[in-house]
């Protein structure tokens, strides 16, 4: 399949999640996955803001990336935070050169094997709801073409989230974010349960959960809840 067809497929797949039975968790995980599969990114992480403009991790392409994003939040420094605060992209083609800007984060990210990072805002005009982090393992800038694709995918996700808020006028930002966070907690619990049950790592566990949900037309959060609570104990295969 050509790159062009892959890109079209990615946008169509993300758009499909906005039509029926909207699932924020699945939409954001799709965004992270597509960035890794289609762009010059080794890993991707996403954060959404609550009503106090405090960022929370809602999706990551791997467990290592999720922990790095958590480290970024705990230490109050990093490209994702700067991107969210400014509403503008933050490009760091060489993390080694960013030691003065983010001394703690830059050092830790390099210890985890990352050498570059590009952060893009989840925004619609003046409304900024979060940020997307794209990590690379070599100290090189991401191409302008790939950055435009990543921003386009982020824009689709942003529009979907804001559209859902508009449709559910009775729901507040707090309720929506809490739903996303609750989904994340349930997914993490399910990953742990499945990893322990089938003696696999958590990344493999998540791959199996998502694959099974898609193959059986199940909501990701619903399947994760069933696994975490013991209601679904059948073996999952990719």
pLDDT the model gives residue 68: 94
Give one word for 200, left, alpha or beta, with left for phi > 0 and alpha for psi -120 to 50: beta
- The pLDDT profile of the chain, 238 residues, written as one tens digit per residue, is 677 787 777 777 776 666 655 677 778 888 898 899 888 899 999 998 887 888 999 899 999 999 999 999 999 999 999 999 999 999 999 999 999 999 999 999 999 999 999 999 999 888 899 999 999 999 999 999 999 999 998 988 888 777 766 655 545 556 666 667 778 788 889 888 988 888 899 999 888 888 888 888 888 888 888 898 888 876 776 5
Among the four given CATH numbers 2.40.33.10, 1.20.120.450, 1.10.10.10, 3.40.190.10, the one describing domain 169-238:
1.10.10.10
Provide φ and ψ at 231, rounded to 5°.
-75, -20
pLDDT at residue 43 in the model: 95
Report domain extents, the chain: 3-167, 169-238
What is the model's pLDDT at position 148? 92
pLDDT at site 130: 93
Instruction: Tell me the fold of 3-167.
Output: Beta-Lactamase (3.30.450)
- Which residue(s) pair with 135 in the sheet? 43, 117
- Beta-bridge partner residues of 132: 46, 120
Predicted local distance difference test score (pLDDT) of residue 67: 93
- 169-238 has the same fold as 3-167: no
State residue 165's pLDDT score: 61
Q: Where do we find the tokens 């797949």? A: 13
pLDDT at position 233, please? Answer: 72
pLDDT of residue 158: 87
d(CA 173, CA 166): 10
């Amino acid at each position: 399949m050509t790159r062009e067809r892959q890109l079209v497929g990615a946008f169509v797949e993300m758009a499909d999640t906005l039509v029926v039975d909207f699932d924020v968790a699945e939409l954001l995980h799709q965004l992270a996955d597509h960035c890794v599969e289609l762009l010059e990114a080794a890993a991707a992480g996403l954060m959404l803001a609550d009503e106090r403009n405090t960022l929370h991790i809602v999706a990551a392409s791997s467990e290592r990336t999720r922990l790095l994003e958590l480290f970024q939040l705990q230490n109050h420094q990093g490209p994702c935070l700067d991107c969210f605060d400014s509403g503008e992209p933050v490009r760091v083609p060489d993390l080694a050169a960013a030691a003065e800007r983010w001394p703690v984060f830059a050092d830790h990210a390099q210890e985890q094997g990352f050498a570059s990072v590009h952060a893009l805002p989840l925004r619609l005009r003046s409304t900024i709801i979060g940020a997307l982090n794209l990590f690379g393992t070599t100290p090189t800038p991401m191409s302008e073409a790939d950055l435009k694709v990543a921003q386009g995918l982020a824009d689709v996700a942003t529009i979907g989230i804001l559209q859902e808020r508009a449709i559910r006028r009775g729901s507040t930002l707090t309720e929506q974010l809490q739903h996303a966070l609750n989904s994340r907690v349930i997914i993490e619990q399910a990953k742990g349960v499945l990893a322990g049950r089938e003696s696999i790592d958590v990344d493999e566990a998540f791959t199996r959960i998502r694959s099974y949900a898609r193959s059986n037309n199940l909501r990701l959060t619903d399947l994760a809840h069933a696994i975490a609570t013991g209601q679904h104990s059948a073996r999952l295969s990719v």
